[in-house]
Amino acid sequence: MGQTITEKIFSEHANKQVYADEIVRVNIDMVIGNDITTPISIRAFEESGATKLAKPDNFCIVMDHYIPAKDIASANQAKISRDFAYKHDLKYFFDEKDMGIEHALLPEKGLVIPGDVIIGADSHTCTHGALGAFATGMGSTDLAFAMITGGNWFKVPQSIKVVLQGKPNRHIYGKDIILEVIRILGVDGALYKALEFTGDGVSHLGMSDRFSMCNMAIEAGAKSGIFEVDEVALAYLDEAKARNKGLRSTPKIYKSDDDATYAQTITIDLEKLSPVVAYPFLPSNGKSIEQAVSDDLRIDQVMIGSCTNGRIEDLRIAAKILKGKSVAKHTRMIVTPATQRILLQAQHEGLLDILIEAGAVVSNPTCGACLGGYMGILADGERCVATTNRNFVGRMGARTSEIYLANSAVAAASAIAGKIADPRNIV
């Protein structure tokens, strides 16, 4: 009986052949915490009486949500993680000196390895499936259990095969593809399942597209998103290996069998796809850019960044559209590079000059604006086009504000127009 990639990864980590819906105890290759969720894990760890991490070099803390601290409460919250990291002399602790949003920073650092089982107390941990790992979000106490024991329990997810056909047209990116998938499935259509992306269309997608797609698998209720490792992923890993003088461990590459069992198969013709905009208040409320333009929606703020679309490719796309142009008078634009390395790269390429001269504000890497924490809070009744992953009620500020999720090209074009605009019409 054939297996999916996900079933093969779990079989390797359970030391026996397993299939979907089986409950298994497996070893964890990487446990990820951040400044918001880790203090809860630390408290549970210490209350258990544990004094040592089961696998110190498989535990990572990334300070990213409210860093630099926005107030006394967030400063005290951050101090808990810092004190723990120093006490246990963590090898992988990333603070202000080398900051970045966790789901962009860890692949960049060569810490995400194909074939790994990765958990994090953040729902968008599923981002790392872009590199052929099983990665998922869990609760902070689940993290504590893994910190203490080095493993955890899972029900092996069923898989949904997402077949991508053809080559995307101009200004169609991974963000549009995953918004279309979520539109088709709904916010719970993939509940506790793995979205496996396959088909000839995958060859046309860069790693930034793949990270974006796996990142938002959770918005369809999925436990994870995953791609088979190919030449594009291997090239990314080679760059990370050279940059970091090695990877954390040796990749294990899996491919689904031809006779593997899937819960469902959906097919998307990329050649027919238009840019997708997710209207409030659900990521599944996707509309075509043509409809969004016809609705003539005035925009107060544009935000480009987050663990979904804050990579160098996103900044390049935005800068190309904004070069020589200006952000509309009544519109604010915030750009948040996902890591310090991306920020430096954008500076070296002259992208920051273009963005700032157009009227954008460039911030340090942070999750702040995406979750309505700081660095871009929306006022009552304001509308925002954001390259983030969620547009729930009050997600970025006031409960009466509205968030429209879109790719970086749509966001940049909308900043110029002061309303939702089609980037294909920007000259």
Q: What is the pLDDT of residues 325-356, one digit of tens each?
A: 999 999 999 999 999 999 999 999 999 999 99
pLDDT of residue 368: 86
Residues 6+ apart with CB under 8 A from 13: 26, 27, 29, 117
What sign does the dihedral 350-355-358-363 (CA atoms) show? negative
Task: For the beta carbon of residue 392, count every other beta carbon within 10 angstroms.
Answer: 14
Q: Where are the alpha helices (DSSP H) in 298-350?
A: 306-309, 312-322, 340-348
Helix, strand, coil abundance in the chain, percent, nearest 5 = 40, 20, 40
Q: Give which of 107, 110, 114, 112 is closest to 252, Cα–Cα.
A: 114
**Is residue 72 over pLDDT 70?**
yes
What confidence category does residue 373 fall into, taking pLDDT thresholds of 50, 70 and 90?
confident
Compute CA distances 257 → 165, 261, 268, whole Å. 19, 9, 21
| Residue position matching structure tokens 């890993």 | 237
Average pLDDT over residues 384-388: 97
Give Cα 324 distance to the centre of its chain.
Answer: 30
pLDDT of residue 417: 97
- ∠ CA 233-132-27, nearest 5°, is 140
Average pLDDT over residues 50-62: 95
> How many alpha carbons lie under 13 Å from residue 343 in its C-beta half-sphere?
19
Q: Give which of 79, 99, 80, 74 is closest to 41, Cα–Cα.
A: 80
**Dihedral of the CA atoms 167, 190, 216, 140 (nearest 10)?**
-150
Q: What is the domain partition of the chain in residue ranges?
A: 5-268, 278-425
The residues with which 136 forms a beta bridge, in sequence order, are 119
Residue 60 to residue 34: CA distance in whole angstroms: 8
Q: Give which of 386, 397, 391 is closest to 420, Cα–Cα.
A: 386
**Is residue 32 over pLDDT 70?**
yes
**Is residue 193 over pLDDT 70?**
yes
**Is residue 73 over pLDDT 80?**
yes
CATH topology identical between 5-268 and 278-425 = yes
Element (H, E) at 78: helix 72-87
Residue at 100: amino acid letter: G
Phi, psi dihedral angles at 397 (to 5 degrees): 150, -130
| Cβ–Cβ under 8 Å, residues 353 and 324 | no
Model-level pTM? Answer: 0.94
> How many alpha carbons lie under 13 Å from residue 164 in its C-beta half-sphere?
26
| Bridging pattern class, strands 59-62 and 30-34 | parallel
Average pLDDT over residues 270-282: 96
Average pLDDT over residues 262-289: 96
> CATH assignment of 278-425, given 3.30.70.1290, 1.10.300.10, 1.10.357.10, 3.30.499.10?
3.30.499.10
The residue with greater pLDDT, 81 or 369, is 81
What confidence category does residue 427 fall into, taking pLDDT thresholds of 50, 70 and 90?
low
Percentage of the chain surpassing pLDDT 70?
100
What confidence category does residue 182 fall into, taking pLDDT thresholds of 50, 70 and 90?
very high
**Per-residue pLDDT tens over the stretch 298-327:** 999 999 999 999 999 999 999 999 999 999
Element (H, E) at 278: strand 276-278
**pLDDT averaged over every residue in the chain:** 95
> What does CATH list as the number for 5-268?
3.30.499.10
pLDDT of residue 369: 85
Which pair of tokens denotes residue 372? 């309505």
Percentage of the chain surpassing pLDDT 90?
95
Residue 408 to residue 388: CA distance in whole angstroms: 10
Give Cα 204 distance to the centre of its chain.
Answer: 19
| Bridging pattern class, strands 151-155 and 23-27 | antiparallel
